[in-house]
């Protein structure tokens, strides 16, 4: 396996994650994910989903910040799923995090209180459309927090079909963090 070690510190939390050559941002935490993590609104309790988890920086960071949550990390890419599972095991977080192969939220087994994502904009608006529609079904009583690069108008338009409370909570370096509530 060709892999890299991604060593980062976010808000005082050290992350040391194994990545794979075929995964997004394989050598370092990408700017969008870093901005999302630095500004993340983490619930005190409940269930959350990290959609398009890649090698796992968002879900693992959330678990390290609050181990009272049940976390699902979802990705369609089998290499991402395998690498994320490996990172979860390295941190001994198997009792908190479940990693699943899933096209967006297809295989999420229950409703959640929060959904987090740095959506793969390379997939175009199709991913956002599916995430918005499925979030409407899978979000219990909570929020969705996304980071996008210069794509906030698409997010507002697409999620606006299902959710009435959408706000941009941060703009930084061309990235927007968008909070979507029922």
What DSSP assignment string belongs to 119-172? --GGGTHHHHHHHHHHHHHHEEEEEEEEEEES-HHHHHHHHTTT-SEEEEEEEE
Angle at 67 between CA 103 and CA 12, to 5 degrees: 95
Superfamily assignment of 3-181 in CATH? Vaccinia Virus protein VP39 (3.40.50.150)
Q: What is the mean pLDDT of the chain?
A: 90
By three-state DSSP, how is residue 83 classified?
Answer: helix
Q: Is the pLDDT of residue 1 over 60?
A: no
**Local confidence band at 18 (pLDDT 50, 70, 90 cut-offs):** low
Ramachandran class of 94: left when φ > 0, alpha when ψ lies in -120 to 50, beta otherwise: alpha
Q: Where are the domains of the chain?
A: 3-181
Tracing tokens 């949550």 back to the chain, one arrives at 69
Angle between helices 57-65 and 31-38 (to 10 degrees): 20
* Residue 25's pLDDT band (cuts 50, 70, 90): low
Out of 15-19, 76-80, 116-120, 133-137, pick the least confident.
15-19
**pLDDT tens readout for residues 41-63:** 999 999 999 999 988 999 999 99
The answer to whether residues 13 and 65 touch, using CB atoms and an 8 Å cutoff, is: yes
Of 149, 154, 156, 151, residue with least CA distance to 179: 156
Select the more confidently predicted residue: 1 or 71: 71
* Cα separations in angstroms, 106 against 51, 68, 103, 120, 134: 11, 24, 6, 16, 8
Considering only CA atoms, which of 146, 153, 133, 154 is closest in space to residue 180? 146
Please tell me the predicted confidence (pLDDT) of residue 143. Answer: 98
Per-residue pLDDT tens for 111-152? 999 999 998 877 778 999 999 999 999 999 899 999 999 889
The answer to whether the CB of 118 falls within 8 A of the CB of 58 is yes
């Amino acid at each position: 396996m060709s892999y890299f070690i991604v060593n980062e510190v976010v808000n005082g939390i050290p992350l040391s994650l194994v990545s794979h050559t075929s995964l997004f941002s394989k050598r370092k935490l990408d700017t969008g994910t870093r901005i999302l993590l630095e500004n993340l609104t983490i619930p005190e309790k409940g269930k959350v989903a990290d959609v398009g988890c890649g090698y796992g920086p968002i879900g693992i960071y959330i678990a390290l910040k609050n181990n009272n949550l049940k976390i699902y990390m979802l990705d369609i890419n089998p290499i991402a799923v395998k690498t994320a599972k490996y990172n979860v095991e390295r941190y001994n977080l198997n009792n908190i995090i479940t990693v699943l192969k899933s096209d967006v939220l297809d295989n999420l087994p229950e409703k959640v209180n929060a959904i987090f994502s740095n959506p793969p904009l390379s997939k175009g608006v199709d991913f956002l459309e599916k995430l918005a529609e499925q979030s409407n079904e899978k979000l219990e009583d909570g929020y969705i927090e996304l980071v996008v690069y210069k794509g906030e108008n698409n997010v507002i338009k697409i999620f606006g079909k299902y959710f009435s409370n959408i706000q941009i909570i941060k703009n930084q370096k061309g990235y927007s963090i968008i909070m979507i509530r029922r």
